[in-house]
Amino acid sequence: MLKAHNISVALGTKKLLGNVSVNLRPGKINVILGPNGAGKSTLLGCLAGLILPSSGGVTLDNMPLADMDYRARARHIGFLPQNPPVYWDLAVRDLVALGRFPHAGRCSKACDDAIIDAAMAAADVTDFAARRVMSLSGGERARVLMARTLAGQPRWLLADEPLAGLDPRHQLQSLAQMRSMAQSSTGIVMVLHDLTQAAHIADHILLLKAGQIFAAGVPGDILTARNIEAVYDVSAVILKRGDRLVIVPQMSD
CATH of the domain at 160: 3.40.50.300
Condensed to tens digits (0 to 9), the pLDDT of residues 152-194 reads 999 999 999 999 889 999 999 999 999 999 999 999 999 999 9
| Nearest Cα residue to 150 out of 95, 78, 81 | 78
Confidence band (pLDDT; 50, 70, 90) for 86? confident
What is the DSSP track for 157-183?
EEEESTTTT--HHHHHHHHHHHHHHHH
Using left for φ > 0, alpha for ψ between -120 and 50, and beta otherwise, residue 89 falls in: beta
Once rounded to an integer, what is the mean pLDDT over residues 195-212? Answer: 96
Report the percentage of the chain scoring pLDDT > 90. 85
For residues 182 and 105, what is the distance between their CA atoms, to the nearest angstrom? 27
For residues 166 and 183, what is the distance between their CA atoms, to the nearest angstrom? 23
For residues 234 and 33, what is the distance between their CA atoms, to the nearest angstrom? 14
Condensed to tens digits (0 to 9), the pLDDT of residues 35-79 reads 999 999 999 999 999 999 999 999 999 999 999 998 899 999 999
Domain count, the chain: 1
pTM reported for the whole predicted model: 0.93
Domain holding 122, by residue range, is 2-251
